[in-house]
Structure 1
Amino acid sequence: MNTNGPVAVQGALPNAEGGREWAIAGVEVARSGYLENSIPSVVSQVAERARKLLGMDMCAVMLPDSTQSRLMVAGSAGLSGQYIEHLHADHPLTVDRSGTSTPSPSVEAFVSGRTVDVPDISRSEGMVNWRELALAEGYASLIATPLREGDRTNGVLVGYSRAPRHFPDEQVNLLEMFAVHAGATIKAAHTREELQATIDKLHAANAVLRRQRRNLELVDHQHRRLLQVMANDVGISGVVSMLAELLNCSVTVEDTDGKVVATATSGIYVSPPHRAEREVPTAAELLANVLSKRSGAAEFPSLDGEGASFWVTPVTLQNEVVALLWVGRPRFQLDDVGRLGLEGFALAVALEISNQRNVAQRSFRLSKDLVADMLVETTPADRAALLKRAAALGYDLAANHTIVVLRQDPSAGADGLRHGLGDTAAGVVREISPGTLVGTTGDDVVLLVPSEGSLSAEEVVEVIRADHRRRNPDRSASALVWGDVSHIAEVAAAYRAAHGAFDLLARRKPDTVSRIGDLGVAALLLSHGDPKALSQFADRLLGPLDDIDPRRAEELVDTLTVWLREDRSTSRAAERLLVHVNTVGYRLRALEDRLENSLHDNSFLVDLQMALAIRRINAQS
């Protein structure tokens, strides 16, 4: 379409040879769309071919943007980058289908689907908004033909000439024929890119599936090896050794108190982060999150970026975290398979801990039953049976043993125990003194420590008390190391004496270890005195209390016991008994009146404590 006045025709019309050149160019352009060329490359080839065939100075291929509201230069030949930049930014080719505004020749060709030629830009109404930009670029005429695909227009092919120029119908027809090939070429390039993108996605998905399959095969291999190791009953040490081998790293299992349960390494052992490192806010938050989630592996990176990096996984039993599984080495990272494997090994460690606990509980239960049967008077036949039971459990009761009694110290304001004293003692002796027999009766924990063992009774007791304080920070325990017994028949009497001696130590400080020598003559009498004579001694001294109401007598004795424990402080005894201070004083005077002796007489006080201890031993017997 030409709305301008006559302009001189430039260039000759194409002859037959020229027509073949146009046809060949169209075929070659079409072929380029199916080759491994990018869309910008294909579009630029179209523009260059059209420029040469038309004998134009410049040529451009314009395509609509994603909203179909603007035409954008997708490829060009001869146009400057500055021109294209200004065209896009300052003089946009807006697609207006309403007809309310005068479109540019390029937009008119795109909207109408017909070729538009402008022989002289200076005389074209459609170039009013772009005339200055065109003159600055140096072109004086243009021709725009739509790139069509059936009834659909996909873009515009625009040729520019530096001089005014008219395009004959024959040349326009050839240009439109070329545009058909060019449009198909660009469409083919788009289709090829879409297909290639789909193929790439399929390749990526296939790679993911292959990787996942390989990962699942690796995880299955790990699980099979893990099941084999567990079937061989190698314990926690065997499980962590296999994990260290598979991941080529250091492995550590810690209980919830921070005590190391097992370690393994494939090279140089790297210990987990120290307490100070774990108390850094970010690290403390990470560990708190791990403990609250109770599952999954979390990365614990090196704080300075140079040390060892660790992954930590909670070991859970019955929804309770019982241990932490640490794996790491310098610059250590875990892939998906490693994390899955780590979680599987955490489960294996949990099962091994469960097995250990079950074995320990059964062993402790049998040990307690054995000790309970030893603390009563037995016949020779009973004692022979006890020796056999002990031997079956791995204890040699024919050797000398030291009797030890442990007892939880009173702690009125403390919360409940996290770990009982008996369980703590049993756990300690399993590790440091396997030949020690542990049992419980009432509030007492009773130990029979081999006299010729690698550790003395005092050393075993100190480890137990320290572990008890670590597990229960607000609680303490005291102990009485009584003495040696050389025969199983002596155990019951020795325990009764030790139990009574514990009660004699009413004025002792909590969290202490006492020995038989601390009781002086009282210990001698309790352990070697004639039971009948001792009973007569107690009855003679305490007889006046037998003549009053038993509840009243018990009240007086309890008050005396607390008063002695509180270092003869009437006020503290009143606080402990939850009574008025005058009530304590009244009861003590009543006791003095009944016994016809002063509680400030130290010799009488020793006799009184001895008599009370004998009464308690006799009552227990």
Structure 2
Amino acid sequence: MDNSTADHHAELRTWLGGIAELAEAVNSTGSVHSLLDLVARTACRLMGYDFCAVLLLDSPHKVLAIEGACGLSATYIAGVNAQHPVRIGSGEPGEAPSSRAFRTGRAVALSDITAETDYAWGGVAGEQGYRSIIAVPLMTTGSCVGTLTCYRADVHEFSDDEQELVTTLANQAAIAIETARLRDKERQTIGELQQLNESLREQHALLQRTGDIHRQLTEVALRGEGVHGVAHALATLLERSVLFEDAYGNALTEARADGAVPGEFDDLAAVRQSIAEGSAAEAAQVRTGHAGTSWVTSAVVLDTDVVARMWIPGELAELGPLGHRAIEHAAVVAGLEMLRERTAVEVESRLRGELLTDLLAQQPTALATVVARAGRLGHDLRRPHAVLLIRTDSDTVEPGRVRRTDAPRQVLAAVHAMASRESPRPLVARHGDDVVLLWPLGGSSADDSSWRTTLIGTQTAPETMTAADAIRRSVARATPITVTVAVSRPCTDLADYPAAFRSTRGVLTITQLRGGRDRTVEIGALGVQGLLLQLEDPSELLRFADRVLSPILDYDRRRSTQLMHTLRVYLAHDLSAARTAEALFVHPNTVGLRLKRMEELLDVSLTQPDALLQLTAALAAVDVGGLELSDAEDRAPGHVIAPHLDAAGRDEPIRHLRR
């Protein structure tokens, strides 16, 4: 083998080694950038060039940027890419060799760049120190992805064979670059698929956990464990304590997590205030107390009304998406449980209301089944009872606190909750805007005749006064409402209830007419009016009141005066003309003239005890009978006409006391 053949074989082995190195780099885990640097180095080594660069197309900017290089300084590469990028030209004079090679798909060689007057090199050639340049397109499947551009420091004539060799190298490099890009894209796709698979796995686990949350809370609802069960299930899921409160901040139930700090919920007072002053949002939110403790809270909503609120110590972010979903689901289940409880109470209340109506009406057909129906509801009407009548104090029902239409329902719910804890259980029902409660009396047995005998004719039982006070406290705790409770004497027979109801309703009306509120009253505290309330037939009282008061009523009606109102105020202020004038905002002489006119109309002296007794009794009869005296009478603010029950327990129409 001669020397030329040996040199040829050596050169061939070098080229094959370079191509093999490119193939090996493609199959390695290296980046595309490292492969481009290898292409440039291989070109320099195989072709003996001083510098080489791999320029790839930057499509958005329509330029060729140096992505791999050998021998070129980092400053030169940065300067070219940032300040003098190779723009894709259109074949005009001065087009850069790399642009021309890219556009035409053919090699472009310049043996001496200083002799090429059409090119504006901008000093970059001098900075790097090259004189000759060859740019070869990198062709893949009929398209050009960039150029392999090589430089020599001296003037060099690129022969056809050399250009063919460089083109061959460029073709191999283009294949390697395209393959590397495909592998890089494949690795990226695999990575994205792995991330997607991991995300799907996490979502599947999340769905499974969400399903567990749904199942556990749904089982609580199916078992009918109420809000108490929801609180304990949520505390187990979150591993945190949970407190449920009603809309007024009263605790409904509490579930303590393991290791909970005593007094964990003591810092909630200020937080409740911030909720009250802000919007009662349904979504879970975070509030901070005075001690810096964070609280997660969520409203329980029924028909746009916030009926309860849950509190969990900590930050919402700490609970994660599962904890957030558990809170949302617990709020829904708690709302359903409260709706079920409310519905049960309302159905039970309706049945008890119908029972009470029949009991008060005393209709023989309905009365025959009253005891049996009461027994099915858990009440023994054979046992003596006292009638307790609960009425809302109207001045505590204010806009922004409780809607007037909601007040009786809320009072009923509070009384029902209190009564449900008693044994034997009292019968609670709503009658109009009042709440009626039949409180069981007597010994352990309903058939205890000795106790029944003892109750006959007695005064109000002390235990019922205690129960009435407990009812007022329960309502005040559960709502921002106060109530007045009237207590009857014992009812030992079914026939006693209409009269007891009528008298307690009269007691309530007269008490509130006098400005009484938030108190427990019984018929014995009303004096003469209390005695009059116990009369079965008030017709004679009404005739008496008509006979005594009609001269004043007729005068007021004809003259549009206020003699009747003046008389009421005068009697209420212990016959003091000065105090009466002060109360009526008139001069004492005016009061004196009105009193003199009344004496003339009645033909009596208001200083005579007998006359004063008759007037007082007549006014008491009017209050007890529930009559509207006349359209001309200027009644005191808050005056309410008490309804009156006939012998059958039905409301009589309001009559007008006139001559």
Give the corresponding residue for 2:328.
Answer: 343
CA displacement at 1:517 relative to structure 2: 7.5
- 1:304 and 1:497, CA in 2 relative to 1: closer, same or farther beyond 3 A? closer
SS for the counterpart of 1:33 is helix
**Is the aligned partner of 1:17 residue 2:37?**
no
Amino acid at match of 1:191: L
**Is the aligned partner of 1:501 residue 2:507?**
yes
Amino acid at match of 2:286: F
Q: 1:226 aligns with which of 194, 214, 217?
A: 217
CA displacement at 1:222 relative to structure 2: 3.2
Q: 1:240 aligns with which of 222, 231, 234?
A: 231
**Is the aligned partner of 1:607 residue 2:617?**
yes
- 1:254 and 1:519, CA in 2 relative to 1: closer, same or farther beyond 3 A? closer
Contact 1:104 1:126 in 2 (8 A): no
CA displacement at 1:193 relative to structure 2: 2.2
How big is each residue's C-alpha offset from its partner over 1:534-587, in whole Å with a ceiling of 9 and x where there is no partner?
Answer: 86566445445689999x99x99x99479748968799999xxxxxxx9xx999
Distance across 2 between alignment mates of 1:48 and 1:305: 68
Contact 2:472 2:485 in 1 (8 A): no
Contact 2:439 2:464 in 1 (8 A): no
Following superposition of structure 1 onto structure 2, how do residues 350-365 of structure 1 map, counting pairs within 5 Å?
350-365=335-350
Amino acid at match of 2:328: E
Contact 2:54 2:147 in 1 (8 A): yes
- 1:271 and 1:530, CA in 2 relative to 1: closer, same or farther beyond 3 A? closer
Distance across 2 between alignment mates of 1:505 and 1:328: 47
Give the corresponding residue for 1:511.
Answer: 517
Following superposition of structure 1 onto structure 2, how do residues 535-554 of structure 1 map, counting pairs within 5 Å?
539-540=543-544, 542-543=546-547
Q: 2:101 aligns with which of 98, 105, 109?
A: 109
CA displacement at 1:179 relative to structure 2: 0.7
SS for the counterpart of 1:125 is coil
SS for the counterpart of 2:60 is coil
Q: 2:20 aligns with which of 23, 27, 35?
A: 27
CA displacement at 1:410 relative to structure 2: 5.3
Normalising by structure 1, we get a TM-score of 0.78
Give the corresponding residue for 1:276.
Answer: 270
**Is the aligned partner of 1:80 residue 2:73?**
yes
- Bigger drift between 212-221 and 322-331 goes to 322-331
Amino acid at match of 1:437: L
Contact 2:131 2:153 in 1 (8 A): yes
How big is each residue's C-alpha offset from its partner over 1:165-224, in whole Å with a ceiling of 9 and x where there is no partner?
Answer: 334433332221111000111111222222333333333333333333333333333333
Distance across 2 between alignment mates of 1:502 and 1:21: 116
Q: 1:448 aligns with which of 412, 435, 438?
A: 438
CA displacement at 1:256 relative to structure 2: 3.3
Distance across 2 between alignment mates of 1:245 and 1:218: 13
Q: 2:43 aligns with which of 28, 50, 53?
A: 50
Following superposition of structure 1 onto structure 2, how do residues 453-602 of structure 1 map, counting pairs within 5 Å?
456-463=466-473, 466=476, 470=480, 477-485=483-491, 489-505=495-511, 508-513=514-519, 515-516=521-522, 519=525, 521-522=527-528, 525-526=531-532, 539-540=543-544, 542-543=546-547, 560=564, 564=568, 593=601, 598=606, 602=612
Amino acid at match of 1:310: V
Amino acid at match of 2:436: V
- Bigger drift between 410-419 and 197-206 goes to 410-419
Distance across 1 between alignment mates of 2:566 and 2:407: 24
SS for the counterpart of 2:134 is strand
SS for the counterpart of 2:318 is coil
- 1:432 and 1:455, CA in 2 relative to 1: closer, same or farther beyond 3 A? farther
SS for the counterpart of 1:164 is coil
Distance across 2 between alignment mates of 1:449 and 1:588: 50
Following superposition of structure 1 onto structure 2, how do residues 294-373 of structure 1 map, counting pairs within 5 Å?
297-300=283-286, 307-310=293-296, 312=298, 314-318=299-303, 320-329=305-314, 333-373=318-358
Give the corresponding residue for 1:209.
Answer: 200
CA displacement at 1:509 relative to structure 2: 1.5
Give the corresponding residue for 1:166.
Answer: 157
User: Where does the alignment leave 5 or more consecutive residues of structure 2 unmatched?
Assistant: 1-5, 441-460, 574-579, 627-642, 648-659
Percent of residue pairs bearing the same amino acid type: 25
Amino acid at match of 2:409: D
Amino acid at match of 1:439: A
What is the RMSD computed on CA atoms of the aligned residues? 4.6
Give the corresponding residue for 1:433.
Answer: 419
Q: 1:69 aligns with which of 52, 62, 65?
A: 62
Amino acid at match of 2:268: H
Aligned residues: 584
Amino acid at match of 2:63: R
How big is each residue's C-alpha offset from its partner over 1:333-374, in whole Å with a ceiling of 9 and x where there is no partner?
Answer: 344444444433333222211210111112222332333344
Distance across 2 between alignment mates of 1:261 and 1:280: 20
Distance across 1 between alignment mates of 2:391 and 2:293: 46
SS for the counterpart of 2:258 is coil
**Is the aligned partner of 1:120 residue 2:112?**
yes
- Bigger drift between 65-74 and 451-460 goes to 451-460
- 1:38 and 1:254, CA in 2 relative to 1: closer, same or farther beyond 3 A? same
Distance across 2 between alignment mates of 1:562 and 1:464: 40
CA displacement at 1:44 relative to structure 2: 1.2
- Bigger drift between 386-395 and 537-546 goes to 537-546
CA displacement at 1:76 relative to structure 2: 1.1
Amino acid at match of 2:329: G
Contact 1:501 1:526 in 2 (8 A): no
SS for the counterpart of 1:73 is strand
**Is the aligned partner of 1:404 residue 2:388?**
yes
- 1:156 and 1:278, CA in 2 relative to 1: closer, same or farther beyond 3 A? farther
- Bigger drift between 181-190 and 338-347 goes to 338-347
Contact 1:146 1:179 in 2 (8 A): yes
Distance across 2 between alignment mates of 1:620 and 1:426: 26
Following superposition of structure 1 onto structure 2, how do residues 360-399 of structure 1 map, counting pairs within 5 Å?
360-376=345-361, 386-395=370-379
- 1:586 and 1:394, CA in 2 relative to 1: closer, same or farther beyond 3 A? farther
